[in-house]
Structure 1
Amino acid sequence: MWLSVLKDEEESVTPEFLSVRYPIVNWEYQLHGRMEMKDMEAYKLTRADGTVSFHGGTESLFRRLDRDDLKVLYKLVQERFEDHSLEEKELILWGDLRMMFDPDEQDEIWKNQESWKVLRWRLYENSGVHSVFLTDTPMEINMLVEKKYPLKKEILEKMINLKLQAEEESTMAFELIKFTRSQIEEKQ
C-alpha cells in the first residue's frame, strides 16, 4: 500500500481517520528515526492533528503526498532555510523542491544536460510529479507534470524512448506523454 500514516505506537489508525486530511505543520530530518521497525534516516512529517509519517527520501514523499502537501512542505522548508542553515539531507530536500516549484534556467543542473545519462522516467500521480533518474549519480530531476522545464530536446526524446513508468494507466500519464512530445516538436 502506498499510503502509510503512523501514529504513536499505542494508538491505531482507523479508516475514518484516513478519510480526513490535515495539513503538514512541521518537518524534520531524523538520522535514526523508526520506520518499519528499523533504525534509518527519514523525513518526519507532523500533521495538525498530531499524526506523524516517515519518508525515507523524496521518492517516498512524491508517492505518498498530494500536491497541496508538497506546497505546504516547500513553504515550511523555505521558512526553516530563512531562519538557519540546513544540514545535508535538509538542503537536498530544499533544492529538490525549489527546482521543482521555482526552476531557474541559470542553475548548473540545467546547463549540464549533455552529461546526463537517463536511466528511467517515473510518474507519481498522487503528487503530480514526474522524475527523471540519472545513471552514474544518485540523482533525480523532479518536475511538476504541468510545468515546462529547460530540458533539451535530446533529454525529452530519451524520456519518451524510455517510456513513462506509472502505477497504472491514467489520464495524467497520457497527458504527460503528450505534453512531452509537444515540447519536442517546439524545439524542432
Structure 2
Amino acid sequence: MKIIPDEEEVAIDAIPLYVKSPKIVGWKIYKEERKSYYQIMRANGKSQMYMIFSQMLKSFDREDLEDLYKLVKAKYESTRLVEDLDLLLWGNLKTMFEPHVEDDVWRQQQGYKVLNWKLYESCGVHSLMLQSVQIYMLVEKKYPLSPPILSQILEKKLIIDYKSEMAYQLVKSINKQLKK
C-alpha cells in the first residue's frame, strides 16, 4: 500500500460502464415495400428502425420513452392521425402516460383473458398481452385494471430477463391493489 500525500495530483483513467445514448429528437414512419417501421432519430444524427413498439422498449430507457412521448404528443395535439402505425404509437404512449378510466382499453377489459405479462426493466414498463389488445403501462403508475384482470396477472408468471427489485415491487403493488 502506498500513501499519496494530499498535495500530489493523481490522474485517474476512468472508463464509464454505461454511456447514455443521445436524446431522441424525432421519429417518422418509414415504409419499405409492404413493411412499415418506426424510425427513431437521435441528436447525434443516428437513427434506428423498429418494426414494433415492444422492440423499442427493449432498447429504450425511461428518458427515451419520455422524449418520444413528448414529441408524439406535440405532433398529434395539432394534427390528425393518418397512418395506422401513427395511431398505434400514439395509442400506446397515451395509454401509458395519460390513462383515463373512460378509455376503451379500460372499459372493454371485462371478459378478456391475460395471455402473458412482461417487464421491460430498462424503461420501467410492463405489458399485458390480452386476447385482442396489448397494454403497456409504467411500473410506478396505477391503472384502472379490473379485479379479474389483476387476478389473472398474478396467476401468470411475469416474464423478466433476470431477478429484479422492480419486478418484486410490481408484483407486490398489484397484489396490494387486488386486496383493496
Given the two structures, how large is their TM-score scaled by the length of structure 1? 0.82
Deviation at 1:82, TM superposition (A): 2.7
Contact 2:124/2:139, CA 8 A, preserved across alignment = yes
Instruction: Give 1 or 2 for the bigger CA radius of gyration.
Output: 2
Q: 1:113 maps to what in 2?
A: 109
Distance 1:132 1:46, change over 3 A: same
Counterpart Cα distance in 1 of 2:77 and 2:140: 28
Q: Which moved more, 1:65-74 or 1:83-92?
A: 83-92
Opposite residue 168 of structure 2, the aligned amino acid is F
Counterpart Cα distance in 1 of 2:97 and 2:147: 21
Which of 164, 167, 176 pairs up with 1:170? 164
- Which consecutive unaligned segments of at least 5 residues does structure 1 have? 1-14, 34-38
- Which consecutive unaligned segments of at least 5 residues does structure 2 have? 1-14
1:84 and 2:60 correspond = no
Deviation at 1:53, TM superposition (A): 1.0
Within-5 A mapping of 1:19-38:
19-32=19-32
Opposite residue 23 of structure 2, the aligned amino acid is P
Deviation at 1:19, TM superposition (A): 2.0
Task: Give the number of equivalent residue pairs.
Answer: 164
Opposite residue 62 of structure 2, the aligned amino acid is R
The two structures, once aligned, show a CA RMSD in angstroms of: 1.8
Counterpart Cα distance in 2 of 1:53 and 1:68: 16
Comparing both structures, which one devotes a greater share of its residues to helix? Answer: 1
Contact 2:113/2:152, CA 8 A, preserved across alignment = no
Counterpart Cα distance in 1 of 2:59 and 2:35: 18
Deviation at 1:81, TM superposition (A): 1.0
Counterpart Cα distance in 2 of 1:20 and 1:168: 22
Counterpart Cα distance in 2 of 1:31 and 1:63: 22
Q: Which moved more, 1:83-92 or 1:96-105?
A: 83-92
Given the two structures, how large is their TM-score scaled by the length of structure 2? 0.86
1:31 match: secondary structure: strand
Deviation at 1:133, TM superposition (A): 0.2
Counterpart Cα distance in 1 of 2:67 and 2:85: 18
Q: 2:90 maps to what in 1?
A: 94
Deviation at 1:41, TM superposition (A): 2.0
Deviation at 1:149, TM superposition (A): 0.3
1:131 match: secondary structure: strand
